Amino acid sequence: MKIRLPAVCIFMLISIFSQRAGSQVIISNSYKNEIGLQHLKIDRAMIYTPQVTWWYNHHPSIVNFKGKLIALWSNGLIGEDSPGQRVVFSVSADFKHWSAIQVLAEPSKGPSGTLNVLTAAGFYHYKDTLVAYYGEYEQDRTNTSLWAKYTTDGEHWSQPVDMQLPIIPNHGPEAIKSGRLIISGNFSFPYTDDPGGLSGWKMTSFYPPDFYIQDNSASFYAPAKMWGLPPLCEGSFFQTDDNVLHMLLRVTGNGWKGRLWLTESHNNGTTWSKPDETPFTDNDSKFHFGRLPDKRYYYVGIPDTLHHYDRTPLVLALSNDGKYFGKQYIIADEPYQLKRAGLWKGGQYGYPHTMVWKGCLYVIISRQKESIELIRINLDQLRRQ
């Protein structure tokens, strides 16, 4: 007699086997507080500060394209993720001076006639083309979809392209050694082998596929509860020289205990291990991992646990092996004064995204989810001792 197991059971057995076959590495930092840490010399540019309207600005990303810097972010009337939120961008040729914001995408209307919500989801640059991604869902956080527009000159954009993915990404696609592109989501990490990033996307997650139908800012609570995990969201990954992908995850809500969690993939992002808690400290915010030209791994985020959700100071941490991020610097800790209160507005250095370009590390952040700022760090300061 043949026994047929449900898909969920098969997935869980595969996941358990993969975990036993190779345990996850321990990824940690050494942050305690700001005392004694070196403050980096930085250049700063305020890209956008609202004056009379469109007071909410968040989810920023930065890219260089054909010699210019382009910043992308979510732009709302007053508070977070409210109907009518759109996606905008600004361009600079010299870092200091930025163009007036231009609208990349406006939300459509849902079945009730209410405007949907758009969320900026980052860039991907391939050859002569730049792709900008943005997510969309209805007011009640349903019917999630990912869209893209592309340009060859940084000014004129295509019509929207449907990525056929029910996700609001945390970061835009990043290429791994095999050439595969991976999107960092909350709990799903879609991948494609299309080098242009505009087709062939496949959903994948550490959760069984029956646990979710979409991945957005409200959908990560239910599968976590079903699997006995804290609310895991907003991942960022890096790949070590053994080809393993390490996806770190934020914990939020009542599950926050000041630590990041980790899921790993040993097959180029096709499957992911069940997450485990790490010793890496976190303030309950988005963060970004990457790699410097000298092959050291870096983290930019808010590792402070003493002042939950204040999102300061902004810290750079370096690692030689991708395991211990023990060399730490203060990027910035100066306060920003909020001009107008709104839903969930707060956090001094919100949602960093990074880029290495021309000997510098660029870090874009939102300031209290109201203004968008770009910081530039000359990498000469980070030379190995």
* Residue 5 scores a pLDDT above 60: no
Note whether 118 and 85 are within 8 A (CB).
Answer: yes
Give me the pLDDT at residue 254, please: 92
User: Once rounded to an integer, what is the mean pLDDT over residues 49-66?
Assistant: 98
**Predicted pLDDT of residue 22:** 46
3-state SS, residue 378? strand
- Which has the closest alpha carbon to 285: 298, 272, 299, 295? 299
Contact 99, 91 (CB under 8 A): yes
> Residue 194: is its pLDDT beyond 90?
yes
Region of 104 (left: φ > 0; alpha: ψ -120 to 50; beta: rest) is alpha
pLDDT of 385: 62
19 pLDDT more than 50: no
Q: Residue 183 above 80 pLDDT?
A: yes
Please name which of 89, 183, 86, 174 lies closest in space to residue 136, comparing C-alpha atoms. 86
The model's pLDDT over 289-329, given as tens digits with 9 standing for 90+, comes to 999 999 999 999 999 999 999 999 999 999 999 999 999 99
CA-to-CA distance for 76 and 282, rounded, in angstroms? 27
Contact 279/44 with Cβ under 8 angstroms?
no
Burial pattern 216-237, b for ≥16 Cβ within 10 A else e, equals bbebbbebbeebebbbbbbbbb
Q: How far apart are CA 52 and CA 145, in angstroms?
A: 31
DSSP symbols for 124-144: EEETTEEEEEEEEE-TTS-S-
- Residue 20: pLDDT band (50, 70, 90) is very low
pLDDT band, residue 1 (cuts 50/70/90) = very low
Q: What is the residue-averaged pLDDT of the chain?
A: 94
Residue 237 has pLDDT above 80, yes or no: yes
Question: How many degrees, rounded to 5, is the angle at CA 283 between CA 43 and CA 322?
Answer: 75
Give the H or E element holding residue 27.
none
pLDDT band at 24 (very low <50, low <70, confident <90, very high): confident
For the whole model, what pTM was predicted? Answer: 0.94
Count of C-beta atoms within a 10 Å radius of residue 347: 24
pLDDT band at 3 (very low <50, low <70, confident <90, very high): very low
Beta carbons of 121 and 172 less than 8 angstroms apart? yes
Q: Where are the domains of the chain?
A: 7-381
Residues 6+ positions from 210 with CB-CB distance below 8 Å = 6, 7, 8
Q: What does the pLDDT average to over 253-265? A: 97
pLDDT at 384: 79
CA 368 to chain centre: 17
CA angle 234, 232, 274 (to 5 degrees): 110
* Helix, strand, coil percent values for the chain (each to nearest 5): 10, 40, 50
Query: Would you state the structure tokens that stand for residue 83, as one six-digit string?
Result: 């109907």
Q: Report the SS3 class of residue 380.
A: helix
Domain 7-381 has CATH 2.120.10.10: yes
Question: What H or E segment, with its residue span, contains residue 286?
Answer: none
Q: Show the tokens assigned to 343.
A: 């839903």
Q: Give the C-alpha separation, 47 to 91, whole Å.
A: 9
Positive or negative, the CA dihedral 310, 101, 164, 64 is negative
- Give pLDDT, residue 27: 97
**pLDDT tens across 336-357, in order?**
999 999 999 999 999 999 999 9
Taking phi first (over 0 means left), then psi (-120 to 50 degrees means alpha), and beta for anything else, what does residue 132 get? beta
